[in-house]
Amino acid sequence: MESAELDLFAFAASHQASARLNRAELNRLSLAFLCSLRPFAAATGVPVRGRRFAVSCAGFWRAESGRSRRVTRTAVVVMYDRMEACFADCSGREEHLRRIAELQSRREALEAHIRRTEPHLAETDDLFSDFRTYDYRRSSNREYHQVRRELALEARILGQGGRLARIIEANAADLCYLAIPAGLIPSDAVLPGWGVVELSPDRSFRIVREAEIQPAVTPEGRLALALNVAGAAAADARFAAGIELGRGGRIRLRRPPRRRARL
């Protein structure tokens, strides 16, 4: 058990040390990922549930037709570059992290076994067998599915009361993504429902787990988040143009900064 804990933290530390991206670059990649989903509008530093729960970026989609052009979907991206930030500070946290490391090791071993015993699960359109992907969800291996359920349970325990859980509880974002440096934590250790996007030092990103549609999101919550996106975008536009809005609506002009948006 002790070696599993050390392995998990050493793995994260090695990736943190080797990554050459600072927080601004990681936030930029997070916004690039969100823009790849082609929302109608997006902005950085968007509050979801008061200023305390501002996300790295957020966006929304509108109906393509109709007079109201209502907000049809919203998405948020939270970027963490430290492993401990991904989990709530709950009791027995270290034990849960050790358990996650053990379950992750078992899952990887079972996936290797499934690749040998259930080759029909391989994606047929892959060009190279060394990089072939498998649909493990269709496996008949009961132990594998049990391990995945236990991983999800551990992630749920660690996520209770944390920032990621509270963002979902705001009922404003249909899609929630956690953006992290590649290899920071196993995707199964992330709170269920959240998508996971890995950000690589070569300035690329990839989805390692799709986000689930949040069923409790309300039209009012979507509209509130869309308005927050608009407000954050307006602040970015003023900043890029060198316009400072003071008390009472007073405008102060200054030299525009070299960077065009705050990330």
Would 255 be classed as within a structural domain?
no
Q: What is the pLDDT of residue 247?
A: 76
| Tokens matching residue 54 | 């501002």
Q: What percent of the chain has pLDDT over 90?
A: 44
Would 212 be classed as within a structural domain?
yes
Q: What is the pLDDT of residue 91?
A: 61
Domain count within the chain: 1
Would 244 be classed as within a structural domain?
no
Sheet arrangement for strand 41-47: 41-47, 54-62, 71-79, 175-181, 195-200, 204-209
Would 22 be classed as within a structural domain?
yes
State CA 5 to chain mean position distance.
Answer: 24
Beta bridge partners, 175, equal 75
Give the model's confidence band at 18: pLDDT under 50 very low, under 70 low, under 90 confident, else very high: very low
Cα 150 to Cα 57: distance, rounded to the nearest angstrom: 31
Cα 94 to Cα 109: distance, rounded to the nearest angstrom: 23
Cα 94 to Cα 90: distance, rounded to the nearest angstrom: 9
Would 247 be classed as within a structural domain?
no
| Tokens matching residue 193 | 């429902």
Indicate whether 9 pLDDT > 50.
no
> Under 8 Å CB-to-CB from 148, ≥6 apart: which residues?
107, 188
**pTM for the full model?**
0.72
State CA 162 to chain mean position distance.
Answer: 14
Question: Which tens digit of pLDDT belongs to each residue from 154-208?
Answer: 877 776 767 888 899 999 999 999 999 988 877 877 888 999 999 999 889 999 9
* Exposed/middle/buried for residue 52 (C-beta within 10 Å: 0-12, 13-18, 19+): exposed
Q: Which of 38-42, 134-138, 257-261 ranks highest by mean pLDDT? A: 38-42
The DSSP code for 240 is H
Indicate whether 130 pLDDT > 60.
no
Q: Which residue has the tokens 């996650």?
A: 100
Helices (H), ranges, the chain: 2-18, 23-36, 93-117, 142-159, 163-169, 219-241
Give the model's confidence band at 217: pLDDT under 50 very low, under 70 low, under 90 confident, else very high: very high
Would 249 be classed as within a structural domain?
no
Q: Which domain holds residue 69?
A: 2-230
Give the model's confidence band at 225: pLDDT under 50 very low, under 70 low, under 90 confident, else very high: very high
Indicate whether 2 pLDDT > 90.
no
Would 223 be classed as within a structural domain?
yes
Q: What is the pLDDT of residue 218?
A: 94
Would 239 be classed as within a structural domain?
no
Q: What percent of the chain has pLDDT over 70?
A: 82
Question: Which tens digit of pLDDT belongs to each residue from 82-124?
Answer: 877 777 655 677 787 788 888 888 988 999 999 999 998 887 6
Give the model's confidence band at 57: pLDDT under 50 very low, under 70 low, under 90 confident, else very high: very high
